Structure 1
Amino acid sequence: MTDYSGAYINFLIHFHTDRDYFECHEILEEYWKAHPEHPLSRSFVLLIQIAVAQYHERRGNRRGALKMLQSPDMYFHPEQISELGLDPERLREELEERKKDLARDGRPFTDLNLPIRDPALSLLCQESCRSSGLQWGVLSDIQNDELVHRHTRRDRSSVIEERQLQKERKENQRRSTLEPRTDG
């Protein structure tokens, strides 16, 4: 059995239970950034983009969703997807169909279910759901504005603070390389 990370399991659970695609993105992106050398990192990017596409599509941003699904081809590595317990052929088919649907106007939003192929992974997710009182495969609550428009309602103070720190570091670094040396 493959040893799946807790972040990946949490990603799958949010993706298929509360359909909090924003949280899916946050969970897996944090893990991906903390483990840049992970052998499956490209497939993590693919899954992050799929979650972001779902988030955009559910909000009515079809162009944003389609854009997110255009670039995954460079991150689509069937062997890595298999290692993540998913069916790469079915996933590719579903993503291609989703792109076609997004290019046509008028189709209502539908949740995407990731095609889990590994029975052990499926069982792990199901057991986690049961112990948490969650139901696998429920539909998005599109009436829940907190869920649908999550990025507009979250506290961004830590993100803003981190960006400011990065900006100051870059500026200080730039200044130190431009200042004339006086030792000598």
Structure 2
Amino acid sequence: MEPTVRESDIEAVFGQLREISRRSSARSRSIEKTLTFVEDSLLRFIATTDAARATDIAAAFSLNRSTVSRQINTLITLGLVHYQDHHERQEHEAKDAAAKDAAATTESSLEATPTPNSVLSGRGRVLALTESGEVQLATSTRVHQSVVKDRLSGWSDVEIATFAAALTRYNDAD
């Protein structure tokens, strides 16, 4: 039976997404200090998730905790990630609280209140990027964003907005 136009279009979308992923992986290998797709993904998650723990990563990526543990150990060995100690986490939370207070322009205590995911709650060790990890992630992001910017250079603002909205809708389906 011949596939429908919709089925063919869905296969074309899948093929294009696979090609984007393949090219991104190849581009990552061209960076001086290469980040694999997995390393980049984990660093980005840790950087953008408050009080990220290995169990949070396992849940978000639907991975076994032992798999995540091995990946985290690799990132630690590469000097890209470390576990925050109690004092460092308190300082981080105090800075977050101060920033929120300043943004809200209200007067309140600069003392941090621990979040439920905090290391202070005893629910696992919180991960953080090292300075090297931050540099590596920023470099990776710059390289990939530069390619996207170049590829979209001939597109109109409306086309880019439509494409961004379609990708957002696609990714929000989960």
* Both structures adopt the same fold (TM-score exceeding 0.5): no
TM-score, length-scaled by structure 1:
0.28
In the superposition, the TM-score normalised over structure 2's length comes to 0.29
